[in-house]
Structure 1
Amino acid sequence: MHYTIKKLTRTDVALAKQLIEAWHTDDGATQVIYPREKYLNKLLTKKSFHAYVAIMGDQVVGGLTAYEMEMFDTEETEMFLFEIGVNKEARQQGIATALIEALKQTCYQQHIAIIFVGTSMDNEAAKKLYAKTGGSLEITPFYTYELK
């Protein structure tokens, strides 16, 4: 089935909500709680935030989000691919690859030379995708602080 990739803008709050619903539903959630429209609109307006969706027919079937990270010690910006996902029914059709390629094009246009993304060591599908799209594996411990 044919799909299109779209970079979301501030007027695409409805598509952003569809992406959130797609991700939560794919994760098995029975109820989706969305951020407020004002919050999503503000986020989609930021130059440093990037969101892409894959659309089949009139449904969002996947997408990614990424954040520009300005470096402190050099005058460079790197891109952090924060989340990527494609609904189970739409996998194995090149959608995740197309989403990453769209992000890479944005990086080329903005002279961003590095994209980095994290995944768990047991996520074989993600590791395969990232290698296929030109990523190289780095073994770097990653710590999380949960501040409550």
Structure 2
Amino acid sequence: MEIRRVTQVEAVNAAGHLFDTVPGQEATERFLTDECHHLLIAYVDDVPAGMVTGVEMTHPDKGTEMFLYELGVDESFRGRGVGRALVSALADLSRERGCYGVWTITDKDNAAALATYRRAGGVPEAGQVVLTWTFDQP
């Protein structure tokens, strides 16, 4: 397995099956041109097997941390450590970029995600609540 940091739209399009929906051209370009956005893709025999995205977030009194935005592993590659390797690679990149930590959110019933994050060193934080605001799309 080889994990590469992706910066080209073509590489995202070639790995489009790893995302929830087909990546949009404008959103992909915007994501890739922001130096605080990161996309890592795991390749097995040059086939995109999984991806993880991270976004650096900086706050005046806390410094910079990495938000693990999304993790996706192709069904045929699940159970082989691809997800754990991607999460670990994002954590390594976070350290290199001077982040003080990494955080993410997942459903409490998502056993596969929870196991992956725990194997990669993640620890659940007790007492957290996620609130969302949803807006109509133009």
- TM-score > 0.5 by shorter chain: yes
Once the two structures are superposed, the pairs formed by residues 5-84 of structure 1 within 5 Å of their partners are: 5-9=3-7, 12-24=8-20, 33-36=22-25, 38-74=26-62, 76-84=63-71
> Matched residues in 2 for 1:33 and 1:91: separation?
20
Kindly provide the CA deviation profile for residues 79-106 of structure 1, in whole angstroms up to 9, marking residues without a partner as x: 0000001011101111111111111111
Kindly provide the CA deviation profile for residues 26-71 of structure 1, in whole angstroms up to 9, marking residues without a partner as x: xxxxxx54312x5423321211000000112332121011100011
AA aligned to 1:84 is L
1:33 to 1:109, Cα distance in 2 relative to 1, 3 A: closer
Q: 1:7, 1:50 within 8 Å by CA — same for their partners in 2?
A: yes
The CA RMSD over aligned residues, in Å, is 1.6
> Matched residues in 2 for 1:114 and 1:142: separation?
19
Partner of 2:122: 135
Q: 2:43, 2:50 within 8 Å by CA — same for their partners in 1?
A: yes
The normalised TM-score by structure 1 is: 0.83
**Structure 2 residues without counterparts, runs of 5 or longer:** none
Q: Secondary structure at the match of 2:51?
A: strand
> Matched residues in 1 for 2:112 and 2:95: separation?
26
The number of residue pairs the alignment matches comes to: 135
Q: 1:15, 1:60 within 8 Å by CA — same for their partners in 2?
A: no
Q: 2:42, 2:48 within 8 Å by CA — same for their partners in 1?
A: yes
Q: Secondary structure at the match of 2:39?
A: strand
Percent sequence identity over aligned pairs: 27
The normalised TM-score by structure 2 is: 0.88
> Matched residues in 2 for 1:72 and 1:6: separation?
31
**Structure 1 residues without counterparts, runs of 5 or longer:** 25-31
